[in-house]
Amino acid sequence: MDYRYTEDFARQMEAAEWRAHELREKALTSLWQAIAHGVANALRRVRHRLAGTRTPILPEA
C-alpha cells in the first residue's frame, strides 16, 4: 500500500464532509420554505373561500 496519498485522501474526505453538511442545510431550508409556502397558499385559499360566502348583516332593501 502506498502511504503517500493518505493525507490527500483525508483532505478530500474532509472536503466531502463539509459539502455534505452544506447540502443538507440547503435541503432542510428548501423543505421548510416549501412547507411555509404551502401553508400560506392553503390559508389564502381558505380566506378567499370564506370571503365569498359571507352574507351581509344588514341587507339592502
SS3 annotation, 1-61 = CCHHHHHHHHHHHHHHHHHHHHHHHHHHHHHHHHHHHHHHHHHHHHHHHHHHCCCCCCCCC
Q: What is the pLDDT of residues 1-17, one digit of tens each?
A: 566 678 888 898 899 99
- The pLDDT assigned to 61 comes to 56
Q: Which of the pair, 47 or 57, is modelled with greater confidence?
A: 47
What is the tens place of the pLDDT at every residue in 27-53?
A: 999 999 999 999 999 999 988 888 876
Distance CA 58, CA 33 (A): 42
Res 1: pLDDT = 55
pLDDT at position 10 is 86
pLDDT at 55: 66
